[in-house]
């Protein structure tokens, strides 16, 4: 197994798609459909990596990142956002500033998410941070 990943996203279709991609790549997967559940799941399951959307109901991804990063032995975090080209980049920059290890703008290819995820877990950086193309 590559490691355990917690995926937090309020879009059920994208949540399922990411879960399937991580499972196919050999990761154990747990998921949450909002930030509040995600923070609880991070504490309960102690994942190696958290992939979280930024704009969600309940607790947004920024709040979830801050809470998750304050725990003992915090996991690596990849923040994702599709909040519009300029707003999305702002959210992702903010997420990086508040503790995300890497960021990725929606829409993205699952292969790119897998590449970044493996690199972040291994402790490296995949090169340039993806703020959108």
pLDDT at 125: 46
- Both tokens of residue 23? 């499972």
- Residue-wise pLDDT tens digits, 24-82: 999 999 999 999 999 999 999 999 999 999 988 778 888 999 999 997 889 999 999 88
CA 48 to chain centre: 11
Its sign, for the CA torsion 9, 33, 16, 113, is positive
- Both tokens of residue 104? 């990725």
CA 74 to chain centre: 13
Topology (CATH level 3) of domain 4-122: Rossmann fold (3.40.50)
- Residue boundaries of the structural domains of the chain: 4-122
Closest CA to 9 of 112, 66, 80: 80
Rounded Cα distance, 110 and 22, in Å: 9
**Longest Cα pair distance anywhere in the chain, in angstroms?**
37
Q: What 3-state class would DSSP assign to 52?
A: strand
């Amino acid at each position: 197994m590559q490691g355990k990943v917690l995926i937090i996203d309020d879009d059920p279709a994208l949540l399922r798609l990411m879960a399937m991609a991580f499972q196919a790549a050999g990761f154990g997967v747990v998921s949450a459909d909002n930030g509040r559940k995600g923070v609880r799941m991070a504490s309960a399951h102690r994942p190696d990596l958290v992939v979280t959307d930024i704009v969600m109901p309940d607790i947004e991804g920024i709040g979830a990142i801050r809470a998750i990063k304050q725990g003992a032995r915090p996991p690596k975090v990849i923040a994702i956002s599709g909040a519009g080209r300029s707003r999305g980049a702002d959210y992702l920059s903010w997420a990086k500033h508040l503790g995300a290890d890497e960021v990725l703008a929606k829409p993205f290819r699952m292969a790119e998410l897998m590449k970044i995820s493996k690199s972040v877990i291994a402790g490296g950086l995949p090169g340039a941070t993806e703020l959108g193309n």
